[in-house]
With several copies, the nearest count.
Chain A
Amino acid sequence: MARILFFGRLSDFAEAIEAPLPDGVRDTDALTAWLSRENARLGEALARPGVRVIVNNAFISAPLELSDTDEIAFTSPLSGG
């Protein structure tokens, strides 16, 4: 089961998801596209500047291949401590 999490502004539009990756979703870009189709308001928020993706506790800087054991977090710009 993949875990998909949302933080900051993004958490206003979606709850955490614990499920197998959707059919045909093999990387983070595809997952973003899928989430945006399923949830238009989340899609708008994901398209804003500063959104970053964390896979298995590390920020990614390029699209990353995903599997069903991954934890993927979508984050709006962090506010800091």
Chain B
Amino acid sequence: MGAPFTDIEIAAAPFDPEAAHADFRRRVDGAGAIVAFTGLVRGKTGDGEDVSRLTLQHYPGFTEKEITRIVSKASVRWPLVGSRIIHRTGDLESGEPIVFVATASIHRRAAFEAADFLMDYLKADAPFWKKETRGDNAMWIEPRAEDLIDKARWRDSEGDANARDQRDS
């Protein structure tokens, strides 16, 4: 297994998660496990209110750099064959894919944990700014306590996670 490859893409237009998965699968020769997370825009907020549109802003250059840093953390921690991240920006409608994270490893636990980790870190640390439009009302979304808790899950188990990677898929 050589160095893991990483594809990071900021997409201003709708993307096709299945095409990304197919492309990723072709590239992960030797992997036994692929985990793919697809996030979809929900038409309702946590309180059940309708969201008519979601607008994502990113900071070109810096956002890619920060995501690269997050992926590097995962690559150090788990023996990945490769990873792929696609993140939308711009205006999104309900049901549209907003994020795609795929990881491949020889063993399934590493692929699961790395994808889960990447999503937690993206949610907490990736430089995106979101505006929800509800009817005539637009509001910027600020980070939620839950996202920081999700990220904190990975803090105190570094040794543990490494030990588990060594097992068979």
Query: Taking beta carbons and an 8 Å cutoff, which residues of A are in contact with B?
Result: 5, 7-9, 11-12, 50, 54, 57, 73, 75-81
Given contacts A8-B129, A81-B87, contact A76 B61 (CB under 8 A): no
Number of A-B pairs whose CB atoms are under 8 Å? 58
Judge whether A7 and B65 touch: CB under 8 Å. no
Judge whether B59 and A11 touch: CB under 8 Å. no
Q: Which residue of B lies closest to A78 (CB)?
A: B127
The CA of A57 and the CA of B63, in the complex, are separated in Å by: 9
Judge whether B62 and A57 touch: CB under 8 Å. yes
The CA of A48 and the CA of B2, in the complex, are separated in Å by: 42
Judge whether B123 and A80 touch: CB under 8 Å. yes
Say yes or no: is B128 at the interface (Cβ < 8 Å to chain A). Answer: yes
CB-defined A-B contacts under 8 Å, sample of 15? A8-B129, A9-B140, A12-B140, A57-B62, A75-B127, A76-B140, A77-B142, A78-B128, A79-B129, A79-B140, A79-B143, A80-B128, A81-B99, A81-B119, A81-B128
From 85 to 133 in chain B, residues with beta carbon under 8 angstroms from any chain A beta carbon are 87, 99, 119, 122-130
Judge whether B57 and A8 touch: CB under 8 Å. yes
Query: Taking beta carbons and an 8 Å cutoff, which residues of B are in contact with A?
Result: 57, 59, 61-62, 65, 67, 87, 99, 119, 122-130, 140-143, 147
The CA of A73 and the CA of B57, in the complex, are separated in Å by: 13
Q: Which residue of A lies closest to B142 (CB)?
A: A77
Judge whether B123 and A75 touch: CB under 8 Å. no
Judge whether B123 and A78 touch: CB under 8 Å. no
B67 neighbours in A (Cβ, 8 Å): 81
B61 neighbours in A (Cβ, 8 Å): 57
The CA of A28 and the CA of B146, in the complex, are separated in Å by: 31
Residue of B62, B99, B119, B128 near A79 (CB, 8 A) is: B128
Residue of A9, A75, A76, A80 near B147 (CB, 8 A) is: A80
Judge whether B122 and A80 touch: CB under 8 Å. yes
A11, A73, A76, A79: most-surrounded residue (chain B CB, <10 A): A79
Judge whether A77 and B57 touch: CB under 8 Å. no
B57 neighbours in A (Cβ, 8 Å): 7-8, 11
Given contacts A7-B57, A7-B129, A8-B57, contact A78 B62 (CB under 8 A): no
Given A78-B126, A81-B126, 14 other A-B residues pairs in contact with their CB atoms under 8 A: A5-B59, A7-B59, A7-B127, A12-B140, A50-B142, A76-B140, A78-B129, A79-B140, A80-B122, A80-B147, A81-B67, A81-B87, A81-B99, A81-B128
